[in-house]
Structure 1
Amino acid sequence: MSENRLGVAKTYKLYIGGAFPRSESGRSYTVTDSKGKFLANAAQASRKDAREAVGAARKAFGKWSGATAYNRGQVLYRVAEVMEGRREQFVSEVSAGEGTPAKRAQSLVDAAIDRWVWYAGWTDKIASVLGAANPVAGPYFSFTVPEPTGVVAVFAPQESSLLGLVSVVAPVIASGNTAVVVTSKDRPLPSITLSEVLATSDVPGGVVNILTGSAVELAPWLASHADVNALDLTGAPTILRAELEKAAAGTVKRVLRAPADEPDWTKQPGISRLRAYLESKTVWHPTGV
């Protein structure tokens, strides 16, 4: 084998509706490692790409939200299984992009895989923990059950390219919602590999849609889009957060505000992100009927 063979420069695509289209604008940008060395080209998503992603998420919502909690848990666990098989690739991409030693990158990748398993275990427990049988004075039964909000636009953490990404995406789909995800602009490779994992696991097309490119460019359109039901501003540009909240108010979106400081994604996540995208529906039924 020749030692002088040319490397294959990669130009990655978007992940929308279970497929890998090019950006409709034809734009791409250069991705480098922490030392400025070329890694690949990534698609730069446009407003139209974001609109297509929202449409795909809306189309997938009915079937995904209607699936049994047990089935969703199986699907999330399958994602963890497929990620395990590509562990070394994730380690390489996290290490290069974040400039972390290989041992630290291995720890982050393992935590990301474990996080899928953790949320997979929660899918069939959400109703028991967040639902209730309400005491009432009268010949009625009253039940409160959690239901998914709908399409969630997620601005992934800019610094934590894999563990932070999984930590914000997994609870969205574990609770029955669908997602349009804007990834870390400078460190997109783990998210691109994750999209390949999603495409080859049991996640239906459109449940997760991944856009690479500029959050500054995409955020205003997603915040004002009438078919987006909720926003996660965790990785949204700081200078735009207030404006995004105002835009979201125009269509009465749920908004999960960005934390004041970068969270420690290695900590146990709790269920606050599961609660964030659930509505409480109360049903009354007469007794004896």
Structure 2
Amino acid sequence: MTANDRLSVFKTYKLFVGGKFPRSESGRVYEVTDAKGTWLANAPLSSRKDARDAVVAARKAFAGWSAATAYNRGQILYRIAEMLEGRRDQFVTEVAAGEGLSKAKATAQVDAAVDRWVWYAGWSDKVAQIAGSANPVAGPFFNLSTPEPTGVVTVLAPQESSFLGLVSVIAPAIVTGNTVVVVASEKSPLPALSLGEVLATSDLPGGVVNVLSGRTAEIAAPLAAHQDVNAIDLTGAGADLAKDLETAAADNLKRVVRPSVTDWLADPGTGRMLSFLETKTVWHPIGV
């Protein structure tokens, strides 16, 4: 058999939920094309049930992940960065095709995404120092405030930055102990689905990150209204959709990060990490 006789082996992309790779419950897929309209792959078209299953998986994983030491979470995030570096060429190819970038520009995006994983890994055991405090009180007490994770966070990934933007919204949520349900870029979902493959073979517990692909509005609606979702990042939603989702999120007082124009190559700061933290304040008598 010569090289010309071979049949191409096309990759089958699947969802990433609870550490496993299910097809969409509905059995549906949709065509993903490059910037010129050329077919790249079929991606799963997630249903409302897929969204609910992802929330169940994220809630199940929350207790263990939030209880892990900050040092351990940082080591796991760093391991993910190592694995992304090992699959750098694959992500460069997917980003270049999906976003219509040159290889050089796609490489810069992927390198920045790996660096960002490392950056957030380093924050794991330091965020308490900037978000916590020892409070002066009028009495013989210690009064300490410490940050704790919010819970299950829905993340609508950026539509136009399919990998660097994706990393920039996932990493700050999970490094502090939250678990996430990610809705990938509708236009360019392949890097997000490939990220699931990296996470599955890393040390990250199943369910900490769950990746859904499909129509953003269709998947986001049940997630915004879900009573077991504690926060939602609306980065990947348009203005009208974001307004509707924010209204739905108010039903159980979810924390909401509104969409804004973001330069994903710029210093991300600590804002996203702090957005998904609660503050626990403890009083303790002095000398006891």
The separation in 2 between residues aligned to 1:243 and 1:187, in whole angstroms, is: 23
The separation in 2 between residues aligned to 1:224 and 1:31, in whole angstroms, is: 28
TM-score by length of structure 2 reads 0.98
1:149-190: CA deviations, max 9, x gaps? 000000000000000000000000011100000000110111
The separation in 2 between residues aligned to 1:184 and 1:14, in whole angstroms, is: 13
SS of alignment partner, residue 3 of structure 1: helix
Pairwise CA distance, 1:2:
2.2
Q: Which residue is 1:22 aligned to?
A: 23
Identity score, percent: 64
The separation in 1 between residues aligned to 2:102 and 2:5, in whole angstroms, is: 28
Q: Which runs of 4+ in 1 moved over 6 A?
A: none
Is 1:271–2:270 an aligned residue pair? yes
Pairwise CA distance, 1:32:
1.2
Q: Which residue is 1:129 aligned to?
A: 130
Pairwise CA distance, 1:279:
0.4
The separation in 2 between residues aligned to 1:286 and 1:15, in whole angstroms, is: 47
Is the 1:216–1:237 Cα contact (8 Å) retained in structure 2?
no
The separation in 2 between residues aligned to 1:227 and 1:140, in whole angstroms, is: 36
SS of alignment partner, residue 218 of structure 2: helix
Q: Which residue is 2:218 aligned to?
A: 217
The separation in 1 between residues aligned to 2:239 and 2:189, in whole angstroms, is: 19
Specify the code of the residue in structure 2 equivalent to 1:3. Answer: N
Is the 1:27–1:44 Cα contact (8 Å) retained in structure 2?
yes
Pairwise CA distance, 1:240:
1.3
Q: Which residue is 2:44 aligned to?
A: 43
Pairwise CA distance, 1:243:
1.2
Matches within 5 A, 1:131-170: 131-170=132-171
Is 1:200–2:201 an aligned residue pair? yes
CA RMSD of aligned residues (A): 0.8
Specify the code of the residue in structure 2 equivalent to 1:41. Answer: N
1:22-44: CA deviations, max 9, x gaps? 10100001111111111111100
The gaps in structure 2 that reach 5 residues or longer are none
Pairwise CA distance, 1:54:
0.1
Matches within 5 A, 1:103-118: 103-118=104-119
The separation in 2 between residues aligned to 1:129 and 1:238, in whole angstroms, is: 32
Pairwise CA distance, 1:219:
1.3
Matches within 5 A, 1:215-254: 215-254=216-255
Specify the code of the residue in structure 1 equivalent to 2:273. Answer: L
SS of alignment partner, residue 138 of structure 2: coil
1:229-281: CA deviations, max 9, x gaps? 0000000233211111111111110000111x3x1100110000010000011
SS of alignment partner, residue 250 of structure 1: helix
Pairwise CA distance, 1:4:
3.6
The separation in 2 between residues aligned to 1:264 and 1:77, in whole angstroms, is: 23
The separation in 1 between residues aligned to 2:198 and 2:3, in whole angstroms, is: 31
Is 1:284–2:283 an aligned residue pair? yes
SS of alignment partner, residue 63 of structure 1: helix
The separation in 2 between residues aligned to 1:40 and 1:9, in whole angstroms, is: 8
The separation in 2 between residues aligned to 1:2 and 1:126, in whole angstroms, is: 54
Q: Which residue is 1:9 aligned to?
A: 10
Is the 1:17–1:206 Cα contact (8 Å) retained in structure 2?
yes
Pairwise CA distance, 1:215:
0.8
Q: Which moved more, 1:69-78 or 1:28-37?
A: 28-37
Specify the code of the residue in structure 1 equivalent to 2:271. Answer: S
Q: Which residue is 2:191 aligned to?
A: 190
Q: Which residue is 2:64 aligned to?
A: 63
SS of alignment partner, residue 31 of structure 2: strand
The separation in 1 between residues aligned to 2:128 and 2:109, in whole angstroms, is: 30
Pairwise CA distance, 1:12:
1.2
The separation in 2 between residues aligned to 1:2 and 1:244, in whole angstroms, is: 51
Pairwise CA distance, 1:198:
0.4
Number of aligned positions between the proteins: 287
SS of alignment partner, residue 51 of structure 1: helix
TM-score by length of structure 1 reads 0.98
Q: Which residue is 1:173 aligned to?
A: 174
